[in-house]
Each structure stands twice: as structure tokens, then as C-alpha cells.
Chain A
Amino acid sequence: MELIYEKSVAGRSGVRIPVSDVPKAAPLPEALRRTEAAGFPEVSELDLVRHYTNLSRRNFSVDTNFYPLGSCTMKYNAKVMEQAGALFADCHPMLALLPGGEKHVQGPLSLVHGLEQQLAEITGMDEVTTQPLAGAHGEMTGIMVIAAYHKARGEKRKYVIVPDSSHGTNPASAAMAGYEIITIPTAPYGDMDLDAYRAAMNNEVAAVMMTCPNTLGIFNPHIAEICEIAHQAGALAYYDGANLNAILGKVRPGDVGFDVIHVNLHKTFGTPHGGGGPGSGPVGVKKALIPYLPTPRVVKNTDGSFGVESHPEGIGRVSDFFGNFGIMVRAFGYIILLGGEGLIEVSEQAVLNANYMMAKLKGEYELPFDMTCMHECVFSASRQLKDGVHALDIAKYLIDRGFHPPTVYFPLNVKEAIMIEPTETESKATMDAFIEVMLEAAQLTRENPDALHQAPETMPVGRLDETRAARAQQVCCEG
């Protein structure tokens, strides 16, 4: 399809801007003025609408296709939340920071506070900040809070421990917060090797970062012990909430012994993923860490009104205002709409769906860790590889059959990984259709593996040359 720039015709105009009701001002000095207008496309409104409508049709999405992308929790995004988000479109965030401004924005402030309270109860933490703008941003914020905590105690610790099955963001976030990384291997039983972890823990370690259930979809029964081992060395335990969807109402990280957590509103709390964002990554902490939370804090005053405060000992601002508020509205609404029982149903049905998928597929696909899974299951295409078929080939075949592929090649500690997360909003019928195609792919691997290598053939483009893209570095069009 042509680029919008290739549809541009000099002199064609789109949307009309407001008519001026003030006199034309004297021009700026030439030295400050742009010499040539930015080359934005010149198209009619219809050209524009057709272009982006047609582009949108080149996407798979939750609303059009089953999207079992492991670790990303691609659940249904309720439409009422879009209506709710739109209500706040015209609220200016700067109003809250003006002298005397708080009383004019009590609605949005109460919503921020309300979401913080909801998340604290759901996760078992004492206080939550909604400032971080995505999961990885929450991780970095959480580790910065941990660094501030140690610093206030006169300690300078050097390391953060992560299991090798962790999301890449964990070590990357800890590194951005100034730490060196110690990686612990996964033991044959599917969890972080406890002995190796014990051996690595000492008083130079600031924190251990755990995802539970982990990226293999396995609940680590030693999780409380892992927190305890950290605490004995004066280190803190960080909970990566990427997989919280599995344990809503079942386990609260705060009860287990975690000191700092982040949650991904765009995963567990049903907000849309936007083609790669916006997300939202609120951070929760235990009491001892509250002073180090970022600024600004939304507080409830004794008269029941809401105000904005800063924490003098806090880590300062990690983003410009109160977080991705529009996303927070949707998550706040989701929690209210579902209620406590609804959230428990979410985790139960998510776990049921994943175990059903696992039971149906494990005859044909290698299951490296064969045990009850939580919200997702991880297979390996190692059997198919013997016939020259990779996880990637299976993924591309699924596209031709109308399914968004699962996550492949992650976690890194499983060879040819295929990570399937159906989520609770998918029906048995949808999963059965997917399972049938997965089984078909396994059969085709034995009979005609080349057919899988050719896929996908039904999309606007076939397999794309990534090496060429990296070499050419063509990341914007000329003009």
C-alpha cells in the first residue's frame, strides 16, 4: 500500500483550522523562522480516512482475531471504558498543580486515589503510585524507590538479582536504576534455582525481582522463602505484576512478603494495548518505602477532599503528571464493573482456559515443564524441529488460518518456545478452533513441512527480510 506521503498532492487541503478573530501580528525575526514548512501530506479528508481505514484492515487485533500472545494478556477490552475515558478528555492536568487548583479537579483526583486504593487491596500493598507510564517504567520506578530506601539507611548496594526466565525489562530497568545484574538459572523443576539464589544473595544485593507465576506459567511454591532469604540479607523483594491475571483474589504479593510491586493495567485490568501502548504501570509499596514514592502524590484530606502533595524524601518525578490517566480511568472502571467476585472469576477462568489448551496440545507438542499451569502454558517446537519446522513456521501458519500467533522464542530458557495465553475472555469454541489448527500444523510438519515454510500466504505481505531492514536502516521516507 502507498504511504500517505505518496498520496500527497501539492495544494490539496484537509481539515480547515479556526478562522482568526485577531489582527495579523508583526512577523517573527527571520533568524527564528523556519525556512521551509514541514513536509506533511496534503490530502483530502476522504483520502485520509480511506488511507487509515484501509491500513487498519492490515492488522490482526483482539476485536478481529484470537490473539493468545503469551505474557501480554490480550483480553477483551470493554467498550464502555472507551466512553468513560472520553468524558475526561478536556481536563487540564496543570489545573491540579496551580495554587487553589485542586478543588476544581476533585473528580479526576478522586479517581486517581480510588484506583490507588483498589490496587493496594488487590495486591496487598500499603500504598500505590500511578505515575509510571508502562510496566517497564514501573519496574524502573520501583527499583529507584528501593535504591532510595537503601540510601536513606546509609547503604549502597550494587546488585539486583533476576531469574533467567525474567522479562528482559527486569534487568534493563534495574540497570537504568544504576544496578549491576546477577542472573540465576532455572532449575529442572521450572523455577529459579533456589541453591544458586541462596549462594548469590548477600549484603551487596539491593533486591530480587520475581515474576510469579513466572514466564513459564508456573507458580513458584517457594516464593515466600525467596522473599525471606532476601530480607535476611537486608535486600528487598520486587514483584513483577505482568502475570497478575492468574492470581487475582487468590494470592496477594504483599501477603507473601514482597516489598515493591508493579502491575500492568493494560494486561490484567483490561485496557487496550493500542498497537504497542499506551500502557500504565502503577507501583505499590509496603509502609517502610512510602516516603520514597515519586512526586506528585494524590492524598485524601481529613475533610474528605483530595489534594496533591510531594514527598521531600521521594525519588521525585518519573513522569510529568499523574500517569496515563486515560488508561487509569479504564482500569478503575474495570475493577468497579467486575467487583471482587468478578476479578476472582477472571483468574479462575484464565487458568482454566490455559490448562485446557495445555491438555489438548501436549500430545503433539513438547511440554518442557509438565505440571498444572496458571494463566499461560509454554510449549517447545523441539519435536517439529526434527522435521525442520521451527516455532516461527508454526506461528506464520497460524496467521494464514486467522489466528494471531502465541509469543515465540520467549522465555529464552526454552528452546523454540511457544507461549500461549488464551485469557479468560475466550470461549471454549474459539480455543477448540485454535487447537485444531495447532494439531493440523503438527500433522503437516510430518507430512509436508515445506508448506509451513511458505506461510503466510494470505496476508498483504509474506515473510519480510529483517536483515535487509537492519542493514538499510530506512526508518523514514525522504521528503
Chain B
Amino acid sequence: MGYCPNTPEEIRDMLAVIGASSVDDLFAPIPKELRAKSFNLPAGVSEFELMALMREKARQGGTEIVPFIGGGIYDHIIPAAVDHLSGRAEFYTAYTPYQPECAQGTLQALYEYQSAICRLTGMEASNASLYDGGTALAEAALMALRITGRHAVVLDGSVNPLHREVVCGYLASLEAGVCQLPPAGCEVDLDGLMNSITEETAAVIVQHPNFFGSVADLTALAKKAHDQGALLIVSCYPIAMGLLKSPGEMGADIAVGEGQSLGNPLSFGGPYFGFIATRKRFIRNLPGRIVGETVDTQGRRGYVLTLQAREQHIKRHKATSNICSNQSLCALRGLIFVASLGKKGFADLAALNYDKAEYAKSVLGAVKGVSLVNAAPTFNEFTLRLPKPAAEVVARLLDAGVAAGVPVSGYYPGRDNELVVTVTEKRTKAEIDALAARLEEALWN
């Protein structure tokens, strides 16, 4: 049990060296009255019984349901090499590379990851990962407060509601202001955002594409924010960056996002990773670990954790963030994912997502009584208006083995009949056609 290797003889020898008569003696510094009052756990099992239990739980995991749902988390292909290489024990049983000479594997991989995120987002400096999309967006907001010395943000209402909740929680702790704009239908409210920027605004926060799937050109918004001394933070969907203008191209100052769709399995909510990238001039305000290139005593190229004076283990309460462990292994998966697909493969994958979703739009939009709500173009998600409450329809179709989409009403009260539908490259034409047929059935039978 416990993977403890020492034999009774070895334990006896060790105790003799220590000068203790029993292992219990070693716990003598703990006063009797502080000892555990209960420790009621079942007896251990072998790994074979454990796997039987685990298989039973996994069987009730909803994996037979065809997912047309996203909400920030997407069902994408994962090349076999991603699992294989990230599963190398030298990567996954190491820790934070505090000793660079014996951690060049992790350090170089993270440097390559940072380079990949810069290329993805059109930015100049990335850190070595954050926890997830929501916390990355919150960290970006805190970063903007630090950079500008201002005390409030303007948050677009079409940013993923789960992420908005995380941002608001983080900012409320610091008593920073959040101006949340109600969404303008399914679109990014460009005019509303521009009109909400004041001299107290540290940043405008938008999502690209937004929660409803709509895509907007944010170039003018970036300019307007900059004119008023504010930053533009863009939360972007990485797969979409194979096709859409990057945050960097549109003038954003900080790009963040949920990295899950880059080679990380759905895994019921994690582990995933958040990414954050910015302009080089803001690098000292980044949260978390950063890997930098340098040379050794003989001039050989190597990599180290750098700019550590920002971090908690040195700056304590004055650090740019409290983050210590990040999501290194998930970031490595992201790197191997983009390197597997390559420049062309990644762009092709994005185009395929777009094509599939456009096909689904045409088929689902043709279902009797159903209409498309987005006024703007979309990438691989779009919003439908149904002739019935979407929650009802979704619950019914779940029982028929398909997750038809995310009802908008769960996050935007009053918008009962709207449904956000996601179509990744993994959804086949047959599955899309079947969804249309089931939807029609659910609506009219």
C-alpha cells in the first residue's frame, strides 16, 4: 500500500540511525489533544478493482451524446502524437523548472509554446500558461489595472458568461469597477463599448468570436480605447485564429483565451490551460511564469525562468499574481497540437470548422419555425431562434442522444427561445442532418 518500499528491517535500521524506538516516536512533537478525532475511510483496493469502479463511473459520463455544444469548451480532434509525447514521463512527472540545467526539456518546450501563442494571437510576449480561460481573462483585467493605474473595466455582455463571472469575482475582491454592457442581440456592442469608455477605464474587454458566435472587426474599438488611454483585452478562441483576424492585427493590447481546444480532451472541465499574451512593453506586468532565452557559461543557448522579480516567491504580496503552479502539461499539449497540424493544417482545420457550421446553419435554419439570430458573420457557433423554449427542446433532445446546443436563457434571462449551436470539424454531415430532423420532430411532434 502507499507505494512505500521500505521493508520492516530497513525501517528498523533507519529508526536506529535516528535514535527513535518506533515510528510513533517521530510524531511525539504533536500533542495528544491535537490528534485526529476520526479518519473513517474504507480499506484499500488493488488497481484492478479501482479500474472496475472507474469504468463504471466513466460509463455514466454522457459520452454517447453527440455534442453540438461549446460554451468555451470544444470537441476537436486530437492527433495521437499529442497524447503520446505529452505522456512522456520525463515531462509529466517533473515539476516547475527551478533548476534549468536539468529541465531544458520543459523550458525549451515552454519557450516554443510561448512562441506559438505569440504567433496565434499576433502578440509579442506570452507567459508559460495560466489556469483556464476565465481566470486568464481575470488576470488580464488585473494586468490592465496595473498598467494604466485606473480602477475600472468595461465588459461586453457577449463575453462568455462563465468567464464574466470569474472576472467579476476577481475584480470585486479589489473593489475595482466593472461596467457590464447588456448584449446587443448577438453582436459585440461596438458603439455601446466606445461610448462607455471614461477616464477611469483601464480596459475594454471583448470576446472574439463572442458567446453567440458572432465575429466583429475590433480595429476601431482598439483605436478608440487607445485614444482615451485605455487598453483593449480580447479573449479569443484559438481554433478560430486559423481563419479570423488575430487580436494583435486588430490592435489589442492583451490577448487571452481558453486553450482547451488546442489538443486537450474535454475531460469534464479540465485540466485545460489559459493563455495570455501582450505587447513587449507590458511584459513586466504579465502574471505567472515566463521562460526566456539565454546562454550558458560556454555560450551555448539555453532557457530559464525569467523576470521572476514579478512573482510571488520573491515579491510575496506585491507580486503581479499569486499563481505558482500553472497548467504546463496542458500548454505542452497545445504546442504539440499546433506543431502536429502545422501552418497549413491549422488554417485548414479552421476553414473546415467554418464550412461545417455554415452547412449546419443552412440546414437548421431551414427547419420550420427556426431562424438565425446573428446579424454578423459567425465562425463555428451561431444562435438560432426556436418557436419553443430552447431549454425544453434541449432537454428532450438530450434524451434522444444529442446535445443540440446551449440555451441562451440560462445566462440571459428572458431570451427563452434562443439556442447557441456549435459545430466543430468532428461533427459529420450525417450528424448535422440528423440534428435537423430531430429538431423538427421536437418542435412539431
Contacts and interface: CB of A to CB of B under 8 A. Distances in A.
Contacts of B88: 52-53, 56
A173 B316 CA distance: 9
B319 A168 contact: yes
Interface stretch (B191-199, B224-232, B367-375, B398-406): B398-406
A423 to B, nearest CB: 10
Given A34-B244, A111-B57, A315-B169, A223 B325 contact: no
Interface in B56-85: 56-63, 65, 67, 69-73, 75, 77, 79, 81, 84-85
B147 interface: no
Contacts of A329: 54
A346 B4 contact: yes
Contacts of B39: 121-122, 249, 252, 340, 343-344
Interface string B318-357: 1101111111111010001011111111111100101110
Contacts of B217: 31-32
A91 B54 CA distance: 13
A180 B175 CA distance: 13
B283 A473 contact: yes
A428 B10 CA distance: 7
B162 interface: yes
A475 B95 contact: no
Given A319-B166, A461-B302, A17 B77 contact: yes
Interface residues of A, number: 206
Given A49-B85, A94-B70, A172-B316, A278 B270 contact: yes
B290 interface: yes
A388 B174 CA distance: 46
Interface string B89-132: 11111111111111111101111101111111000111011011
Interface string B290-316: 111111111011111011010111111
B73 A475 contact: no
Nearest to B422: A94
A134 interface: yes
A166 to B, nearest CB: 9
Contact of A28 (B90, B163, B215): B215
A155 B302 CA distance: 52
A73 B29 CA distance: 21
Given A426-B5, A475-B114, A40 B398 contact: no
Interface residues of B, number: 212
A463 B101 contact: yes
Nearest to B60: A107
A38 B268 contact: no
A464 B303 CA distance: 8
Given A17-B425, A275-B329, A473-B283, A22 B359 contact: yes
Contact of A252 (B37, B101, B336): B37
Contact of A93 (B37, B133, B168, B269): B269
A178 B174 contact: yes
A472 B41 contact: no
B294 A95 contact: no
A118 B44 CA distance: 13
A384 interface: no
B184 interface: no
Interface string A146-172: 010000000000000000000111011
B130 to A, nearest CB: 9
A317 B265 CA distance: 22
A95 B352 contact: no
A78 B50 CA distance: 12
A25 B166 contact: no
A177 interface: yes
B140 to A, nearest CB: 14
Given A18-B77, A172-B322, A278-B329, A88 B339 contact: no
A385 interface: no
Interface in B149-192: 162-163, 165-166, 168-170, 173-175
Nearest to B320: A172
B406 to A, nearest CB: 6
A22 to B, nearest CB: 4
A304 interface: no
B133 A320 contact: yes
Contact of A60 (B94, B326, B347): B94
A147 B1 contact: no
B387 to A, nearest CB: 17
Contact of A77 (B19, B61, B93, B426): B93
A93 B268 contact: yes
A92 B62 contact: yes
B306 A470 contact: yes
Contact of A134 (B105, B296, B324): B324
Contacts of A78: 3, 47
Nearest to A23: B359
A395 to B, nearest CB: 7
9 contacts: A87-B58, A177-B173, A250-B27, A318-B166, A325-B269, A338-B2, A351-B27, A456-B101, A464-B304
The 9 closest A-B pairs by CB, nearest first: A321-B269, A339-B44, A100-B395, A274-B329, A107-B60, A25-B358, A276-B328, A278-B271, A93-B269
Given A320-B133, A324-B269, A352-B23, 5 more contacts: A18-B425, A58-B103, A59-B106, A255-B36, A278-B329
